[in-house]
């Protein structure tokens, strides 16, 4: 029998539309001979919907990327063997799920919340667990853990929404004095460059801070790194492997538009034009970051390559984009793993991780 794979997308996140795009490409590239894919979408208010057919739930025409109206609202229930999709309208189970494939980027999807729910449902799911997801999503915590392992990261300072105005200004002014412009200002727990600004003077700082605070209660100011933007895809559980690295050539920085709207502001070099020595160095560092942050399944590791050859870690993305122009799958394609095969490997890794955890003893006498 074919395994039922639930592609989970949407969500209460600033990356809602990006998630729908990723789901579209995973759904249409999954091995239909081996799996039966269904769609579970979460709207911006947190309501859950279900369909056997992606086109019945996501409006993909004219690049709208929105959930359709009058969808069937559902809840997920725990059962003995599978999690069941339960229709609130029909008051009955519709289908059982063997593996969840979450593609919700950002808040409530990539931060451990959804992973915790899957753990309670006791069903395998793709990508990092609760702890790894939460760590990687919080850029401050991730950087501090990497620093403990002597892994170079970008210098930063964190500002909280509840900070008094005087305290906030002191933090900002001290950071500017030490590291100068340009600087990056971003939400601490978000991705896809949502709410991120590159600022070149003090006049732009307040506006950028206000923009970042729209998406998070904590924001981060980072030093600008004069270096090449390199990304590497990692795949695996206990023994992860790294792809060939890729490079982003952007006019300013790798914005939301450049990542998902095929903007001309950025050019992807896949693979990156690096020496064999540097390729191995990037791969080794990416795997170390992956393991330090307690990740599993998949992650994209973003680093800067300085002119002197030093690598500086920017961040790790536990549910990277899966669109037709996304770096994670494209890097594996040039590394010898086709899109559909990559999806298959991720599903198998989810089952492997689930089976390993299930061997643990859960009672004590």
Displacement of CA 306 from its chain's centroid (Å): 25
pLDDT of residue 262: 55
Q: Please indicate, yes or no, whether residues 287 and 299 belong to a single structural domain of this protein.
A: yes
Q: Please indicate, yes or no, whether residues 280 and 294 belong to a single structural domain of this protein.
A: yes
Q: Say if residue 41's pLDDT is above 90.
A: yes
Least Cα distance to 228 among 299, 311, 120, 168 occurs for: 311
CATH number at residue 68: 3.40.50.20
Q: Report the C-alpha gap between 155 and 68 in whole angstroms.
A: 43
364 belongs to a structural domain: no
Q: Report the C-alpha gap between 354 and 137 in whole angstroms.
A: 22
Q: Please indicate, yes or no, whether residues 206 and 337 belong to a single structural domain of this protein.
A: no
169 belongs to a structural domain: yes
32-35, long-range: CB < 8 A, 24+ apart: 34/2, 34/3, 34/344, 35/2, 35/3, 35/4, 35/5, 35/344, 35/347
pLDDT of residue 277: 98
Q: Please indicate, yes or no, whether residues 219 and 229 belong to a single structural domain of this protein.
A: no
How many H helices and E strands in the chain? 10, 19
219 belongs to a structural domain: yes
pLDDT of 265-316, one tens digit each? 679 999 999 999 999 999 999 999 999 999 999 999 999 999 999 999 999 9
240 belongs to a structural domain: yes
pLDDT of residue 45: 94
Q: Please indicate, yes or no, whether residues 270 and 291 belong to a single structural domain of this protein.
A: yes
Strands of 74-78's sheet in order across: 74-78, 83-87, 92-97
361 belongs to a structural domain: no
Among residues 195, 223, 251, the one where a domain terminates is: 223
262 belongs to a structural domain: yes
Q: Please indicate, yes or no, whether residues 143 and 207 belong to a single structural domain of this protein.
A: no
Q: How many domains does the chain have?
A: 3
Q: Is there a contact between 37 and 71 (Cβ–Cβ < 8 Å)? A: no
Least Cα distance to 225 among 191, 176, 179, 186 occurs for: 179
Q: Please indicate, yes or no, whether residues 255 and 314 belong to a single structural domain of this protein.
A: yes
Domain that holds residue 112: 3-125
Displacement of CA 110 from its chain's centroid (Å): 6
Give 68's DSSP letter: P
352 belongs to a structural domain: yes
Q: Across the chain, what does the average pLDDT equal?
A: 93
Q: Please indicate, yes or no, whether residues 21 and 88 belong to a single structural domain of this protein.
A: yes
107-to-39, 176, 195 alpha-carbon distances in Å? 19, 29, 13
Q: Report the C-alpha gap between 293 and 128 in whole angstroms.
A: 10
Q: Work out the widest C-alpha separation in the chain, in whole angstroms.
A: 65
User: Which residues fall within 8 angstroms of residue 170, CB to CB, at 6 or more apart?
Assistant: none
CATH number at residue 180: 3.30.1490.20
- Residues pairing with 219 in the sheet: 159, 187
Q: Please indicate, yes or no, whether residues 281 and 145 belong to a single structural domain of this protein.
A: yes
Q: pTM for the full model?
A: 0.93
Q: Say if residue 86's pLDDT is above 90.
A: yes
Among residues 223, 250, 278, the one where a domain terminates is: 223
308 belongs to a structural domain: yes
Residue 264 exposed, middle or buried by CB count within 10 Å (0-12, 13-18, 19+): exposed
User: Which residues fall within 8 angstroms of residue 103, CB to CB, at 6 or more apart?
Assistant: 7, 8, 9, 19, 22, 23, 26, 109, 319, 322
CATH number at residue 281: 3.30.470.20
Q: Please indicate, yes or no, whether residues 164 and 213 belong to a single structural domain of this protein.
A: yes
The more confidently predicted of residues 106 and 89 is: 89
- Which H or E run includes 331? helix 327-334
Q: Please indicate, yes or no, whether residues 106 and 219 belong to a single structural domain of this protein.
A: no
The more confidently predicted of residues 20 and 250 is: 20
**pLDDT over 70 percentage in the chain:** 95
Q: Please indicate, yes or no, whether residues 254 and 215 belong to a single structural domain of this protein.
A: no
């Amino acid at each position: 029998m074919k395994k039922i794979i639930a592609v989970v997308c949407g969500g209460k996140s600033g990356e809602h539309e990006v998630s729908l795009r990723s789901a579209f490409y995973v759904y249409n590239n999954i091995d239909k001979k081996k799996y039966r894919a269904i769609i579970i979408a979460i709207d911006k208010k947190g309501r859950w919907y279900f369909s056997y057919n992606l086109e019945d739930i996501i409006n993909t025409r004219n690049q709208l990327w929105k959930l359709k109206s009058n969808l069937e609202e559902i809840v997920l229930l725990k059962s003995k063997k599978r999690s069941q999709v339960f229709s609130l309208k029909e008051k009955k189970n519709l289908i059982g799920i063997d593996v969840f494939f979450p593609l919700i980027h950002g808040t409530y999807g990539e931060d451990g919340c959804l992973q915790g729910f899957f753990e309670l449902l006791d069903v395998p799911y793709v990508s990092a667990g609760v702890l790894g997801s939460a760590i990687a999503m919080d850029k401050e915590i991730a950087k501090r853990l990497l620093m403990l392992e002597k892994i170079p990261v970008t210098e930063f300072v964190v500002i909280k929404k509840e900070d008094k105005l005087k305290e906030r200004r002191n933090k900002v002014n001290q950071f500017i004095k030490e590291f100068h412009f340009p600087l990056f200002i971003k939400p601490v727990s978000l991705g896809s460059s949502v709410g991120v600004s590159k600022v070149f003077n003090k006049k732009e700082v307040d506006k950028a801070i206000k923009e970042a605070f729209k998406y998070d209660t904590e924001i981060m100011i980072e030093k600008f790194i004069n270096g090449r933007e390199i990304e590497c895809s990692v795949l695996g559980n206990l023994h992860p492997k790294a792809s060939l690295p890729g490079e982003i050539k952007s006019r300013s920085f790798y914005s939301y538009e450049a990542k998902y709207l095929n903007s001309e502001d950025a050019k992807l070099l896949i693979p990156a034009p690096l020496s064999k020595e540097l390729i191995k160095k990037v791969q080794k560092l990416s795997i170390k970051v992956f393991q330090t942050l307690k990740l599993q399944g998949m992650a994209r590791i973003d680093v800067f390559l300085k002119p002197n050859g030093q690598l500086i870690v920017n961040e790790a993305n536990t549910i990277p984009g899966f669109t037709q122009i996304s770096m994670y799958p494209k890097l594996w394609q040039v590394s010898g793993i086709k899109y559909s095969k990559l999806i298959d490997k991720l599903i198998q890794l989810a089952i492997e991780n689930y089976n390993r955890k299930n061997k643990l003893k859960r009672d004590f006498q």
